[in-house]
Amino acid sequence: MSEQKKKGKLSFFALDPKCDKYINWAVALLLLIGTFTIVSTNVGKTTYAPNIVPKVIVKQSIFCICGYIAMWFMNRFFRFRWYSKIEWFIVPLCLFIMILPFAFPEIGGSHAWIQIAGISLQPSEFAKPLLLIICATCLYRAKKKSIMLKEKGRLFKRAWAVFICVCIIVLCQKDTGTAVIIGFIFISCIMIPKYPVLQHTQRVLKVLIYGGIVFGVVLFGFTNIGNEILKHTSFAHIAVRVENFKDPYNDVYGDGYQPANSLYGIASSNIVGKGIGNSARKYGYLTQADNDYILAVLIEETGIFGLFGLVILYGIIEFRLFYYAFKTNENMYKIILGGAGVYLFMHFFLNAGGVASLIPFTGVPLLFISSGGTSLISVMLTMGLAQNCICAIRRREMDRLL
């Protein structure tokens, strides 16, 4: 085979050369850190599962490969033109798949997972990039049908319908963390475009957001009214998490066991950490050490420097996403890039805040770091979609210069 053909085959499986290299390197480093930390946390299970480490390495490698394929596909081949033609099929299919977890047993009090051959999948994770695409596609259609920018309530009509359906499904699954993130992603998509037809909706959303925050702080922060109400509903587990947030040591050997041990691990890091692989909390103290509470293990081993490194890598991705979002005049791209930034930030904020007991724990994973193939593939798919928009922006910039 000639050298030229070899290069052609390799370039086919590579990301577009116009991609933002800073994002690619930050994602690659986060994946490397995540894989290493997941393997490290599972060392604590070798006492009762001797072969757990090689199994985890193989499993995580498969997830990383699938994630790269998702990112590569969205970066190379996604087009709003062909998606708009098959949306009538894609959306009902995704909603149907999201309903499937109701046929499987609860995990952690939630009907959010499909269990197949020992592997758990969380279909609701894919609703996050799906909503980004649907909102951006509404603007793509508006470019061809200008009437959508004149009649109130028409521009994001489809997006609102899908958002409401997704929220109902996720809330019925008792997955409040995912519902919160989906809500913020969707609201950001509505708030980004600056069209006169959206001004009333945007003002109403702002009032609802600020009012909801104040109302929530009063009900759950300054008083226990919200908790007492939740205790008599199917969302009683949220009341427990709010109580653990207020006092993580209230029930150390009961519902407060995980948050208390998370804080013990963080406090024992002594700023510089105990050293890579030397976490004590991963040995049975944190039952979700490789998933929801992986940040506690990472801080325990690497100290404030490990946390600082994570913040820098996430910050690089956020900065580059919003840099291109402000740079372009195309609202479709603004929604994808801005929404992707909100997606990434909300996961980090909710996970880090919950692990440190600064906010009630929501059970959302730390993207790129926590174990879990569905969340990894979903965020990699979103990164591929964002890189697709960045490539289009950079090509347009090159055309203008030429």
Q: Is residue 25 part of a domain?
A: yes
Q: What is the pLDDT of residue 164?
A: 96
Q: Kindly report which listed range (36-50, 199-213, 341-355) carries the lowest average pLDDT score.
A: 36-50
Amino acid at site 7: K
| 287-300: pLDDT as tens digits | 777 888 899 999 99
400 vs 145, residue with greater confidence:
145
Q: What is the pLDDT of residue 330?
A: 92
Q: Is residue 257 part of a domain?
A: yes
Whole-angstrom Cα distance, residue 353 to residue 360? 8
Q: Is residue 14 part of a domain?
A: no
Structural domain span for residue 169: 20-401
As a whole-number percent, the residues of the chain with pLDDT over 70 amount to 95
Q: Kindly report which listed range (7-21, 59-73, 94-108, 178-192) carries the lowest average pLDDT score.
A: 7-21
| 150-169: pLDDT as tens digits | 888 889 999 999 999 999 99
Give 360's strand partners. Answer: none
> What letter does residue 116 receive in the DSSP assignment?
E
- Does 217 score more than 90 pLDDT? no
SS3 content of the chain, % helix, strand, coil (to 5): 70, 0, 25
Q: Is residue 90 part of a domain?
A: yes
3-state secondary structure of 372: coil
Whole-angstrom Cα distance, residue 332 to residue 3? 39
Q: Is residue 1 part of a domain?
A: no
* Domain count for the chain: 1
| 321-352: pLDDT as tens digits | 999 999 999 999 999 999 999 999 999 999 99
Q: Is residue 97 part of a domain?
A: yes
Q: In the predicted model, what is the mean pLDDT of residues 240-266? A: 84
- Does 46 score more than 80 pLDDT? no
Instruction: State in Å, rounded, how far the first CA of the chain is from the last one.
Output: 36
Whole-angstrom Cα distance, residue 184 to residue 162? 15
Mean of pLDDT over the chain: 88
Q: Is residue 101 part of a domain?
A: yes
| 119-130: pLDDT as tens digits | 788 999 999 999
Q: What is the pLDDT of residue 291?
A: 84
Q: Is residue 35 part of a domain?
A: yes
- What's the Cα-to-Cα distance from 334 to each of 39, 177, 234, 341, 343, rounded to whole Å? 37, 25, 38, 10, 14
pTM, two decimal places: 0.93
